[in-house]
Amino acid sequence: MNYRELGNTGLLVSAVGFGGVPINRVEPDRATATLLRAFELGINFVDSARSYGDSEDKIGLALQQYEASDDIIVATKARALDADTMRTKIDRSLAALQTDHIHIYQLHDLREGQLEKVTAPGGALQALDRARQQGKISHIGLSGHHPEALIPAMRSGLFETVQMPLNVIDYPLFADNIPIATELSLGIVVMKPLCGGLMESPERALRFVLSHPVSTAIPGMDCPEQVEENAAVGCEQIQLSDKDRSKLKDEARRLGKDFCRRCGYCQRCPAGLRIPDIFRFERYHSSYFMQDWAKEQYAGLESDVTSCIECGECEKMCPYDLPVREKLQQAHQHLRG
Ligand code: SF4
Ligand code: SF4
Look at the chain and count its residues: 337
Which of the ligands is closest to the CA of residue 310? 1
Among 183, 218, 251, give the residue marking a domain's end: 251
**Same structural domain for residues 312 and 231?**
no
Among 236, 251, 266, give the residue marking a domain's end: 251
**Residue 111 to residues 114, 147, 213, 264, 325: CA-CA distances in angstroms?**
6, 9, 24, 17, 22
Residue 187: how many other CB atoms lie within 10 Å = 26
Nearest C-alpha to atom 3 of ligand 1 is from which residue? 308
**Same structural domain for residues 223 and 89?**
yes
pLDDT value, residue 288: 62
Answer whether 58 contacts ligand 2 (Cβ < 6 A).
Answer: no
- Environment class of residue 292 by beta-carbon count within 10 Å: exposed (0-12), middle (13-18) or buried (19+)? exposed
Beta bridge partners of 266: none
Q: Are 21 and 263 in contact (CB under 8 A)?
A: yes
Task: Kindly state whether residue 76 falls inside one of the protein's structural domains.
Answer: yes
Candidate from 269, 306, 332 with most ligand 1 atoms within 8 A of CB, to mutate: 269
Model confidence pLDDT, tens digit, residues 118-127: 999 999 999 9
Task: Kindly state whether residue 270 falls inside one of the protein's structural domains.
Answer: no
Model confidence pLDDT, tens digit, residues 138-152: 999 999 988 889 999
Residue at 233: amino acid letter: V
Which of the ligands is closest to the CA of residue 317? 2
Beta bridge partners of 17: none
**Same structural domain for residues 89 and 173?**
yes
**Same structural domain for residues 142 and 60?**
yes
pLDDT value, residue 121: 97
Measured between alpha carbons, how far is 128 from 108 in angstroms, rounded to an integer? 12
**Same structural domain for residues 118 and 222?**
yes
Answer whether 25 contacts ligand 2 (Cβ < 6 A).
Answer: no
**Same structural domain for residues 111 and 243?**
yes
Model confidence pLDDT, tens digit, residues 201-242: 999 999 999 999 999 999 999 999 999 999 999 999 998 889
Task: Kindly state whether residue 144 falls inside one of the protein's structural domains.
Answer: yes
**Same structural domain for residues 237 and 291?**
no
3-state secondary structure 41-93: CCCCEEECCCCCCCHHHHHHHHHHHCCCHHHCEEEEEECCCEHHHHHHHHHHH
Q: Are 95 and 50 in contact (CB under 8 A)?
A: no
Task: Kindly state whether residue 169 falls inside one of the protein's structural domains.
Answer: yes
Model confidence pLDDT, tens digit, residues 56-103: 999 999 999 999 999 999 999 999 999 999 999 999 999 999 999 999
Mean pLDDT across the chain: 93
**Residue 246 to residues 77, 165, 193, 204: CA-CA distances in angstroms?**
36, 21, 18, 11
**Same structural domain for residues 328 and 195?**
no
Residue 190: how many other CB atoms lie within 10 Å = 26
Phi, psi of 274 (to 5 degrees): -90, 80
**Same structural domain for residues 240 and 288?**
no
Measured between alpha carbons, how far is 179 from 38 in angstroms, rounded to an integer? 30
Task: Kindly state whether residue 267 falls inside one of the protein's structural domains.
Answer: no
**Same structural domain for residues 316 and 187?**
no
Supply the range of the domain harboring residue 12: 3-251
**Same structural domain for residues 149 and 209?**
yes
**Composition of the chain by helix, strand, coil, percent to 5:** 45, 15, 40
Q: Are 44 and 72 in contact (CB under 8 A)?
A: yes
Query: What is the value of pTM for the model shown?
Result: 0.84
Task: Kindly state whether residue 234 falls inside one of the protein's structural domains.
Answer: yes
Task: Kindly state whether residue 263 falls inside one of the protein's structural domains.
Answer: no
Task: Kindly state whether residue 80 falls inside one of the protein's structural domains.
Answer: yes
Model confidence pLDDT, tens digit, residues 272-322: 999 999 998 898 788 666 788 889 999 999 999 999 999 999 999 998 889
Q: Please count the structural domains in the chain.
A: 2
Q: What's 28's domain CATH number?
A: 3.20.20.100
**Same structural domain for residues 180 and 319?**
no
CA 187–ligand 2 middle distance (angstroms):
25
pLDDT value, residue 189: 98
Model confidence pLDDT, tens digit, residues 11-54: 999 999 999 988 988 999 999 999 999 999 999 999 999 988 89
